[in-house]
Amino acid sequence: MSQWQGLDEFVAIATAGSFSGGAKLLGTSTTRISRVIVQLEARLQAQLFDRTTRSVKLTDTGRAILDQCRRILAERDDILASVTAQGEPRGELRVTCSTTMGERYVAPLLRRFAMQHPDLSVDLDLTNRVVDLVGEGYDLAIRTGQMPDSGLIRTRVGSRALLTCAAPAYVAASPPLEHVEQLKNHACLLGSASNWHFKDAQGQALEFKPSGRWRCNNGNGVLEAAIAGMGVCQLPEFYVLPALRSGELVEVLEAFRPAEEPIWAVYPQRRHLLPKVRGAVSLLKRDLAAAIARP
Checking if the pLDDT of 80 tops 70, the result is no
User: CB pairs under 8 A, 24+ apart, for 77-81?
Assistant: 78/271, 78/274, 78/276, 81/274, 81/275, 81/276
pLDDT for residue 145: 80
Q: What gap in Å lies between CA 284 and CA 105, rounded to an integer?
A: 10
Q: What gap in Å lies between CA 107 and CA 97, rounded to an integer?
A: 9
Mean pLDDT, rounded, for 279-291? 91
pLDDT cut 70: percent of the chain above it: 93
Checking if the pLDDT of 241 tops 80, the result is yes
Checking if the pLDDT of 78 tops 70, the result is no
Checking if the pLDDT of 85 tops 50, the result is no
Strand partners of residue 208: 196
**pTM of this structure:** 0.66
Q: What gap in Å lies between CA 180 and CA 240, rounded to an integer?
A: 20
- Sign for the CA dihedral angle at 111, 117, 121, 122 comes to negative
Checking if the pLDDT of 149 tops 70, the result is no
Mean pLDDT of the chain: 88
Q: What gap in Å lies between CA 146 and CA 144, rounded to an integer?
A: 7
Q: What gap in Å lies between CA 281 and CA 140, rounded to an integer?
A: 9
DSSP of 79-100: HHHHT-SS----EEEEEEE-HH
pLDDT for residue 160: 87
pLDDT for residue 90: 82
pLDDT cut 90: percent of the chain above it: 55
pLDDT for residue 294: 64
pLDDT band at 271 (very low <50, low <70, confident <90, very high): low
pLDDT for residue 82: 61
Mean pLDDT, rounded, for 2-10? 84
* 205 CB burial (10 A radius; 0-12, 13-18, 19+): exposed
| H-only helix segments in the chain | 7-16, 19-26, 30-44, 60-82, 99-101, 107-116, 133-136, 168-173, 219-227, 237-246, 275-293
Q: Are 101 and 141 in contact (CB under 8 A)?
A: no
